[in-house]
Structure formats: structure tokens, C-alpha cells
Structure 1
Amino acid sequence: MSGKVDMKVVMLGQAACGKTSLVERFIYNRFNTNYQTTIGAAFGARNMAVQGKQICVGLWDTAGSERYEAMSRIYYRDAKAAVICYDITNAESADRAKFWVSEVQKHEEDCKIYLCGTKLDLAMDKPQERQVDFHDLSDYAEEVGAKVIETSSKTGNNVEKLFNCVVEDFAVTNADVMATLENSTITLHNNKKKKGCC
């Protein structure tokens, strides 16, 4: 992988809502039940294929604790996309996600927002544990010009779909960047062209 990041993506959301697990599943295709709390921010990157090009996606996984709030602003500066996570079994985390939406829109107007519901496997195994209604979040996302998708880092469900959507949207709105990229030799899972991927 080259050292140059073509697309900066920031991960935001309440502490313990599943940001680090999502990054681990996306970059390394693995799941660990024993994550340490992120201090400040952690960085990871992965090459993806989009429109026949190879793009290096850099992810900044930020700390969710409120005491790191000001620090998080440093990491979403100049980000092309923000994946704002919430735990679908924790209503408070959805409220916190809405806070981050307003923060990003206030400071980075050109940053595209993706609301990511995490821990879908828990809600599927025990529907009574769901605290965040998908349709309510979809209505909110429509109001703020965001997209919403529910994922499970444990099973991998919808993780590729989420990030495929992120890079495809980036490719459409950043033709100048895409023109400078090398042709891709990487095949992406589930990278079929489709409308409304999120």
C-alpha cells in the first residue's frame, strides 16, 4: 500500500458504540471482543477499487469520550466523509450521533455524512434489545442530507456495503482526484453498481 491517502474518513460516535470494531472488520476482516478504549485517535488504511481505479482510504478512529471532543475536531478537518456510529441497542448513542452530525456540518460543510448503526447482530438475536428505530433514523438522515445503514462488525453484515457506498459517493463528487489515481488491480467484494447503496 502506498503511503499516500487519497480519501480521509473520520469515525465519530459515543464511546463503546463500536467504531473500533467497525474499523477492524473493514481493514483486517476480523473481530475482537477485547478492545481497549481509544485514546485520542487511531489510524488505519485500506486500498479499495472504485470506477476501475485504486483508492487509498484512510480512517481516523476517534475517541468517543466527551473529554476528547475538541481533539476530535482536529481529525475531521478536511475529511471527505464522516462515518458517525451509534449502537442500535443504546438510544443515548443515537442522540450523541446527532450531536456529531451538527458538529461536522458546522465545521466541514463538504464532508459527506453516513450514520452507521452498529451491533445489528444483537438486535437480530434479541429484537427486544433494539432501542433505535431504523425508520426514525432514516427520516432524520433525510432531513440532514445523510445516509444511514445498520451493520454488524461481529458478522461483517453490511460493513463492505457501507464503505463501498462511501467510496462510490466520493468518486462521483471528486472527479479531479479520481483522474490522478492508478488503474485498479483489486477486486472488491460486492462492488456491483447499484442505486441507493445506503
Structure 2
Amino acid sequence: MSGGKVDIKVVLLGKSYAGKTSLVERYIHNRFIGDTVPYQNVITIGAAFGAKTVVINNKSVVIGIWDTAGSERYEAMSRIYYRGAKAAIVCYDLTDKSSFDRARFWIGELQKHEEGCQIHLCGTKYDLIEGNPDLRRIDEKETKALAIDVRGDVYETSSKTGKDIDKIFVKIASDYLNSKRETLEEETSDIIKLHPSKKHFCPACRS
């Protein structure tokens, strides 16, 4: 989709070649760019933007997705793009231990600058380790422990097969709707407390 209002801003962070762009392409366009461009040759300069509408229980949520560059020289620029994000998908390559170390850096940045941002951990390129388990370099127990620490979820995805990619965005959209509902319930409760009886006239709410 293009134009229109975005309900929730989501940012993808992680090391270069961690599979962020491939993940976005699979989610938004349902295609695997690795079919024409190998995983290791996909790189984003600055940031790329895409949006998609998710329908949860007949309610539509427009998710705006910022795919940021992972190169260290673009770190300062990435901070501009994750400012105000309600959710972040921190990506790491399941076959590259250094990418997980880099993920910890981005988590620290988010916790420092965007305290209200919900963090989701995303291991990418699951298809590679599914074909050859010896390629795995990231321990599942370590990722689960980190997810508990950031009070987030952890996913192991494949942009080639589409494994679990939709799940991440459905969870983000569901959390957004639940948050909106809770806020509405709190506001309604406050109004009832202020004006428990219609016998008490309230000019603001005309009750």
C-alpha cells in the first residue's frame, strides 16, 4: 500500500546482511529476493520504508515498517528512523554469532532512547540451518534468556520459506489493539468515577 495513515511504527534493526530486507520483502510482497540476489549481497543504504494492513478480529491495523541499514557508519542515521517506534524487530543471522552480539548493541540503544518500544528478537535464515544444523551459531537458550530480559518474544524465521514471519507482525498488531482497548477502558472507568450518576450534570460530556 502507499500513502494513508500509519497506526504503528515498526523498525528493523541488526547487523548488515542479517536478513532484514529479505524479511520485509517476504512480508510485504510475499517474495524472496534471494531468488535473484544472494542473502549476503542484499544491503540497505540509510533506510527503506514499506507499509501493510493487518486485520485482527475484523479490525484493520496499518503497520509502517522501517528497514534500517546495519552498517556501523549508519548508526546515527538509524537512530532517526527508530525514534517514536512502538515496536522493534531486532534481527540476527542464525549462522553468524557476531550478528547476535550486534543485536545486543541495538537492544541497548532502544532501551536507552526508546523505553516504550516493544522489542522482538528475530533469528533469520532458518532455512540454512534446517538444511544443515551444523551451521547454527546462535544458541536457542541464549536467545530465550535475552527475550525474557527484554520482555519480548523470540522467533526463528526464514525469508525463503516465509516461516513465522507473519506471526511477528500479527503479534505486533494484536498488542497494539489490546493497548488501545485497555486505554479506552481506563478512560471510560475514569469518566464513570468522575460522573457516577446522570443526576450530576457534566458540561463536557453532557451527561
TM-score bucket of the superposed structures, by smaller chain: 0.7 to 0.9
Equivalenced residues, count: 179
Q: Which residue is 1:121 aligned to?
A: 127
1:146 aligned partner: 152
The 2-side partners of 1:87 and 1:42 are apart by 20
Shift, 1:132, TM fit: 0.1
Amino acid at match of 1:49: V
Unaligned residue ranges in structure 1 (runs of 5+): 180-198
Say what the alpha-carbon RMSD is for the aligned residues.
1.7
Amino acid at match of 1:108: E
Following superposition, the deviation at residue 172 of structure 1 comes to: 1.4
Residues 80-109 of structure 1, C-alpha deviation per residue, up to 9 Å, x if partnerless? 100000001000000100110110011011
Aligned-pair CA distance for 1:36? 4.1
CA contact (8 A) 1:115 1:146 kept: yes
Deviating beyond 6 angstroms after TM superposition, the runs of 4 or more aligned structure 1 residues are 176-179
Judged with a 3 Å threshold, the aligned counterparts in structure 2 of structure 1 residues 177 and 80 are, in CA distance, closer, same or farther, namely farther
| Residue 176 (structure 1) shift | 7.8
Question: What amino acid is aligned across from residue 9 of structure 2 in structure 1?
Answer: K
Q: Which has the higher contact order (CA 8 A, sep 6+)?
A: 1
Highest Rg: 1 or 2?
2
Matched, 1:159 2:160: no
The answer as to whether partners of 1:8 and 1:57 remain within 8 angstroms in 2 is: yes
Aligned to 2:16: 15
Task: Give me the whole-angstrom Cα distance separating, in 2, the residues matched to 1:27 and 1:164.
Answer: 13
Moved more, 28-37 or 103-112: 28-37
Match of 2:65 among 44, 47, 59: 59
Distance, in Å, in 1 between the alignment partners of 2:114 and 2:43 is 26
Shift of 1:178: 9.0
Contact 1:51 1:171 in 2 (8 A): no
69, 88, 95: which one pairs with 1:89? 95
Distance 1:162 1:150 in 2: 10
2-side partners of 1:25 and 1:36: how far apart? 13
Displacement of 1:177 after TM fit?
A: 8.8
Higher helix proportion:
2
Of 110, 123, 136, the residue aligned with 1:104 is 110
Tell me by how many angstroms 1:52 deviates: 2.1
Aligned-partner residue type, residue 66 of structure 2: W
Partner Cα distance (1:91, 1:16) in 2: 13
- Normalising by structure 1, we get a TM-score of 0.86
Distance verdict in 2 for CA 1:45–1:145, change over 3 Å: same
